[in-house]
A and B are shown apart, each in its own frame.
Chain A
Amino acid sequence: METIARDAAHVLFALGFPPLLLGVIGKTKAFFAGRVGPPVLQPYYDLIKLFQKGSVIGGTTTWVFRAGPAAGLATAALASLFIPLAGAAAPVSFAGDLVLFAYLLGLGRFFTALAALDTGSPFEGMGAAREVTFACLAEPAFFLGLLVLAKLTGSLSMGGMLGGSLAAHWSTAGASLALVLLSWFIVLLAENSRIPFDDPNTHLELTMIHEVMVLDHSGPAFGMILYGAAIKLFVFSALVARVAFSAGLGSAWLAWPVFVVGMLLIAVVVGVVESVMARLRLLHVPTLLVAACLLSAFGVVLLAR
């Protein structure tokens, strides 16, 4: 009974909280720009509005185009089940689930790219090519980071690697964990199409990466894409938060406040990064992703003593 209640809470939180992160990022950026900015809850209003709209579907598209948004949302929501949130264990956990976790996200990207290619628009093809190219480089950084956690905790499940035992390792393997943290933060920015990789607010179709792939979607389909993107941001933020604030997450009373504040803090940091720096030239994006891989790799090397 207790497990069911806990898992229900997990699912509710993972589905309800993500748009708030987008709202906090928007508010932070508005602050730096000297504006009031939209309300923190604006992403929720946007989603409600989109789900009430009709959709326009291009005559040249097939079922793949319609499957894209649904697959993107479903895979992100499923992936969120493998991450332990505050103090609680993850609802789904088994040895080796890290591979399933990574490739659920990969599957979502695969369908988004296919849906983009399905439209036949040269822009969307361009965006799909960019997205998968950069994903190839973000993936090793993520896996090398997992390798560090696996070695430290001796577990091969996401729940185990990010579980309570992580806190103890900050004192013994702090350098490795700090490198992984930095590397994963870069991966978070890349995977969620934030500056310096992509500009989620741009209207310039030739410079977009993720946004250009979803140009043809509208109404509820576009709502699903936005919602899926928010959940994906939530998943990556939770990963970073579990590593960064593992010490505070050990205590039963403090776990939830620390987790929620930690997540909001990550959103603020993303907003600050977006406010103080410009986008990279597309040519230089791989360089930064390779740097993220190297950070994680050094984390592994440090443990190999």
Chain B
Amino acid sequence: MNTSGLTLTRAGQAIPRGSIAALPFADFRRVVIDQAREGLAVAALFGDVPAGSERVDLYVVLADRESSRLGVGKTTLELDAFASLTPDCARVHLFEREIAEQYGVRPEGHPWLKPVRFHGSYRSGHDAWGRGPGEPIVVGVTDFFRVEGEEIHEVAVGPVHAGVIEPGHFRFQCHGEQVFHLEISLGYQHRGIERSLVGGPDKKTAHLMEVVAGDTSIGHATAYCRVVEALAGRQPPIRADALRAIALELERLANHTGDLGALAGDVGFLPTASYCGRLRGDFLNLTALICGSRFGRGMVRPGGVRFDVEPSRVEECSKRLKKALRDVTTAVDLLWNSSSVQARFEGTGTVSLEVATDLGLVGPAARACGLECDSRRDFPSGIYRFAQAPISSWNTGDVFARAYVRWLEIERSAAFIMDQLQSLPDGPIEAPAGALRPDHLAISLVEGWRGEICHVALTDHAGRFARYKIVDPSFHNWMGLAMALRDEQISDFPLCNKSFNLSYCGHDL
């Protein structure tokens, strides 16, 4: 990483806010664009209004996967407008829309500046679209991309869907069955989580983290705990690290298995669909065996974990895991061996490596395009510093690749859990984290089952959260789904959608 102007740190480390390089905006813009071109990921880009100030600060967290280093930069905006970075660095497009919506500052030159979650500005009287303070904002009411033409028709789906899924609005510009463009409009699940974390941490905080995206409870809770532990300057005991990793990998197993079953269901392939639906429950039950909750609620807390496993339950856990893995192998092999399924998966919803890189995709969706990124390897923390699951990738970028990467991860995560269960370190499971250091910044990166989860916390002079930024992997990946649909058949949308299986509430926060 060319260190020009950025302050270097690592995931899970706290740095004083005063030590963060404050750049003039022009330099800030140039550094981000240059570094992104060099291949650095934009882990987070967010605004903040420091106490007692009227001006908006922008923070960027750039992640260098080669050296495991993070570069943090900061700039103060003098006006309510700035030159958009998006034309030169596509992967920040949604971050800029988010900043515009939250702080009422306008990224001039942004190609498609629309609200993200449809809420009022955090700074009253400043609005990027010039809306008055009392003006009602209705979710989903905004401009949409339109293709004109006699033979073009527009299909709008949602926010209420035929299945029991989260709300989101999808607009297709179609020519017959062919999709020219898909635009995705979310925000229906916006709960204001980031804002409600300010002033924390308190009793509520950990619970809120577990519902940022309900299917990623362990992932977000772990990311939060790492941030708190970094700010407090305490490491959790090594046994707690191992148990957290086991819970995180079980979450991955359960969701990937459910996804493979759902993919089979979407192409009408019954056997795998029904078996995987049941087996997902087996993995969830393993999490319940450890902590009493199928989704791992209450398991991970700052300082360690709340539930220990005695040798008999370790035994039981490995026994049940082995059996479940054997069953999943049988069910998923049916999928790979059925030519009618492969005919549907292969070549559907292709995302090129170039597009994946430009958009900064993360997680299995990125690895399916051949983008080798995995926070467990690139920014290891906790037990991943000592034990690694091999990175799983494929290179075709289609539905098959996204399914196959999931399958590889199922195999490797199961092997990883087996290893961990066999060599579980001794010792306590909890060490009180203590008070947070004032005026610090800490970043944590956790590879949840959907991809990289980034949490950034800034503390005030009393050691409370002054700003807490959550970046769910879905935030990076929704645009990838839109691109996957270009020139595809509209009837293949549900399949492509399922192959990404992104979170609505993780995006909407």
Contacts and interface: CB of A to CB of B under 8 A. Distances in A.
Contact of B266 (A123, A204, A205): A204
Contacts of B268: 195-196, 199, 201-202, 274, 278-279
A282 B488 CA distance: 11
Given A204-B494, A283-B177, 11 more contacts: A33-B273, A34-B274, A126-B177, A199-B268, A204-B163, A207-B493, A276-B271, A277-B340, A278-B267, A278-B343, A281-B348
B340 A126 contact: no
A280 B340 contact: yes
B341 interface: yes
B331 to A, nearest CB: 10
Nearest to A196: B340
A284 B270 contact: no
A279 B267 contact: yes
19 contacts: A33-B275, A34-B274, A126-B490, A195-B268, A201-B268, A204-B162, A204-B163, A205-B161, A206-B490, A207-B491, A207-B493, A207-B495, A274-B270, A275-B271, A278-B338, A278-B340, A280-B343, A281-B344, A284-B343
Interface in A264-289: 274-284
A93 B156 CA distance: 48
Given A126-B490, A204-B162, A279 B344 contact: yes
B153 to A, nearest CB: 6
A276 B270 CA distance: 7
Contacts of A274: 268, 270
A274 B274 CA distance: 13
A272 B265 CA distance: 16
Nearest to A125: B153
Nearest to B335: A278
A282 B163 contact: no
B492 interface: yes
B83 interface: no
- In the complex, which of the residues B156, B273, B338, B491 has the most CB atoms of chain A within 10 Å of its own CB atom? B491
B274 to A, nearest CB: 4
A67 to B, nearest CB: 25
A232 interface: no
Interface string B235-272: 00000000000000000000000000000101111110
A33 B98 CA distance: 45
Nearest to A202: B268
B489 A282 contact: yes
B431 interface: no
A126 to B, nearest CB: 7
Nearest to B273: A33
A207 B340 CA distance: 16
Nearest to B493: A206
Contacts of A29: 270
Interface string A32-48: 11110000000000000
Contacts of B340: 196, 277-280
A203 interface: yes
A122 interface: yes
B37 to A, nearest CB: 37
B266 A122 contact: no
Nearest to A285: B491
A161 B153 CA distance: 45
B45 to A, nearest CB: 34
Interface in B254-299: 264, 266-271, 273-275, 278
B158 to A, nearest CB: 10
Nearest to A200: B268
B274 A126 contact: no
Contacts of B491: 206-207, 281-282
From DSSP, what is the main secondary structure of chain A's interface residues? Answer: loop
B270 A33 contact: yes
Given A126-B155, A281-B344, A282-B177, A33 B493 contact: no
A238 B338 CA distance: 31
B267 to A, nearest CB: 4
B177 to A, nearest CB: 6
A54 B489 CA distance: 36
B343 A122 contact: no
B270 A275 contact: yes
B461 to A, nearest CB: 53
A207 B495 CA distance: 9
B88 interface: no
Contacts of A32: 270-271
Nearest to B334: A276
Contacts of A281: 343-344, 348, 489, 491-492
B163 A123 contact: no
Contacts of A125: 153
Interface in B136-154: 153-154
Contacts of B278: 34
B107 to A, nearest CB: 33
Contacts of A277: 269, 338, 340
Nearest to A122: B155
Nearest to A281: B344
Nearest to B278: A34
Contacts of A205: 157, 161-162
A35 B275 CA distance: 9
Interface string A207-218: 100000001000
Q: Top 7 nearest A-B pairs by Cβ distance?
A: A33-B274, A204-B494, A278-B267, A199-B268, A279-B268, A278-B269, A277-B340
A202 B266 CA distance: 7
A295 B289 CA distance: 57
Contact of B153 (A122, A199, A275, A280): A122
Interface in B328-368: 338, 340-341, 343-344, 348
A195 B344 CA distance: 13
- In the complex, which of the residues A32, A195, A278, A279 has the most CB atoms of chain B within 10 Å of its own CB atom? A278
Given A126-B490, A204-B163, A278 B344 contact: yes
- In the complex, which of the residues B267, B274, B278, B493 has the most CB atoms of chain A within 10 Å of its own CB atom? B267
A33 B334 CA distance: 12
A280 B341 CA distance: 8
A206 B266 CA distance: 11
Nearest to A198: B268
Given A203-B162, A204-B163, A205-B162, A122 B271 contact: no
A283 B176 CA distance: 12
A125 B273 CA distance: 29
A278 B348 CA distance: 15
Interface in B144-187: 153-157, 161-163, 177
Interface in A167-207: 195-196, 199, 201-207
A275 B343 CA distance: 16
A4 B162 CA distance: 47
Interface in A101-151: 122-123, 125-126
A89 B152 CA distance: 51
A242 B163 CA distance: 40
